[in-house]
Amino acid sequence: MIYVSGQAGFTADGRTVPGGFLEQGRQAFRNVETVLAAAGASLGDIVEVGIFVRDMAANLSEVIALRAEFLTEPYPADTLLEVSALAQPDWQIEVEAIALAPRRVAR
């Protein structure tokens, strides 16, 4: 199992990406992808994803678009929650995931 703690729309140097919700969401999913790759896995190995947003009403269509862009069948279990705040005041979305590590073939 690979547990990816909350990833938001920040770059490797810790800066929040410019732009709006969709840009932050894409970066958050790319950050999840980077963590999974370091563990030898991919987005396709995710079995559960949690998405936290600060404004559900304004961003639901973008969340649906992000899920379609980054998640594939068989789709993971998915929880979407609206929260009053995230760790940084300019963050609009945070993504966490649980993935199954691919089996390694013994040699």
pLDDT in tens, 60-97: 999 999 999 999 999 999 999 999 999 999 999 999 99
Q: Is the pTM of this model over 0.85?
A: yes
Residue 106 banded pLDDT, cuts 50, 70, 90: low
pLDDT at 103: 74
CATH number of the domain residue 87 falls in: 3.30.1330.40
Please report whether residue 22 resides in a domain.
yes
Q: How many domains does the chain have?
A: 1
Residue 83 lies in domain? 2-99
Which residue type occupies 24?
A: Q
Burial class (CB in 10 A: 0-12, 13-18, 19+), 96: middle
Q: Encode pLDDT of 1-52 as tens digits.
A: 999 999 999 999 999 999 999 999 999 999 999 999 999 999 999 999 999 9
Task: Report residue 69 as tokens.
Answer: 């862009």
Q: Are 28 and 86 in contact (CB under 8 A)?
A: no
In the prediction, which pLDDT does 39 show?
95
Does some domain include residue 93?
A: yes
